[in-house]
Amino acid sequence: MRVVDLRDGSWQESEALIYLQKRAQLQFDAYEGIVKEIINLVSQRGDEALYELSLKYDGVDLKKLGIEVPKEELKRAYEELPSEVKSALELAAKRVRAFHELELERGFFHQDGGVLCGLKVLPLEKVGVYIPGGKNPYPSSVIMNVLPARVAGVKEIVLCCPKVHKSVLAAAYIVGVDRVFRIGGAQAISAMAFGTKSVPKVDKIVGPGNVFVSLAKRLLFGFVDIDMVAGPSEILIIADESANALWCAWDLLSQAEHDVFSASILITPSEDFAKEVIGHVSSLYKQLPRHEVLEKSIENWCYAFIVKDLMHACEVANFIAPEHLQIATERPLEVFENIKSAGAVFLGHYSAETLGDYLLGPSHTLPTGGSARFFSALGVYDFLKRITFMQVSQTGFKALCEPAMVLANLEGLEAHRMAIEVRCKVWQ
């Protein structure tokens, strides 16, 4: 973990900050050619390409197992869960559903003289959710990605996961996923974007994934809508001396263990506190099962930035625009007032980011790599489309026809002007 002093006036030019901003692109550059090839194969050969690619990249024999998981397997997986796991997943689903129900958007009517305008809000018809399926299952991601869509009223939700652990199937049963497919990586994203004989074409694809998944989503945006182009996970902690150094160390490690490209960042005005946190991080990671991943992540993407004060800490945090931001200070709400860009913010010493991963309520699908400057956390609004409508009476038309024709003339569009003028003859 590197210490970088940002207390001089040119901190925006820090090599460390610039390097952090290139993190996701470094991954994408290395794999874009492979992902393009996968997309082309699936678009041209459909299910046959899925059979070959799943065996090649995921070690899954779809011809033997089947591309789709039978619906009864979801219910069986749920019934076979240990009671404490079932209770935890149901609690998470209850809390996530309750939070996202508060996001529901309504349409409206607006009357202005002889003109009626309005907005009609409708759910998307069909949504695809991607869930990673490596060594560890991620049932929490099923809950966090499916429920906002379900609350929005999406008619059909399909889920792709290369290795469907029982807990993932159980979570899919709890939140009401309609169909589950045993496919992963860029081939899964391609299948949902184009549609194949077995996999339906969807309107939007959401959910986390590795570099292949993120690249496929980026390349296929336009054929299908996506939630965001997510890169490796990240956490940023703003801390003063009221924070617990050991707690902060574990919070940093909780994100660093995801991936060798995961970033864990501490920002503090106290050099002594930074050194204490670094000491804990350096000793603790060696005890963990994923210590090899942690070692690379800590070596390349973990920083302790020393700043002038907490206001300066907020400036640096806004510049980075992190996925997860923890504010471990004596007065976290005062610090939060100065935060403009972050995926999700955790206020106070007990608001561990890990709680947000599982149980707090808001979806944990968040913008990464600085994209919190323009993207937001996944929500119900991501699964809605809006149709504007307008109705003009003769009175409203009379009030607007002359300025409309003036603007049509200004733009040199004669048919536009005539479409208005012919209606004027009604009362001439």
Residue of 280, 324, 349, 364 with catalytic role: 324
3-class DSSP state of 129 = strand
DSSP 318-385: HHH--SEEEEESSSHHHHHTT----SEEEESTT--HHHHHHTSSS-S----TTGGGT-----GGGGEE
CA 217 – CA 212 distance, rounded (Å) = 9
CA atoms within 13 A on the CB side of 361: 10
Q: For the chain, what's the residue count?
A: 428
Q: What residue spans of 153-198 are helical by DSSP H? A: 166-175, 185-194
Catalytic one of 234, 257, 276, 323: 323
Q: Under 8 Å CB-to-CB from 94, ≥6 apart: which residues?
A: none
323 catalytic per annotation: yes
Contact 162, 133 (CB under 8 A): yes
Helix (H) or strand (E) holding 48: helix 47-53
Residue 342 Rama label (left phi>0; alpha psi -120 to 50; beta): beta
Give just the sign of the alpha carbon dihedral 389, 102, 337, 351: negative
Between vectors from CA 294 to CA 289 and to CA 297, what angle results, nearest 5°?
160
Active site residue 411: no
Known catalytic residues are 323-324
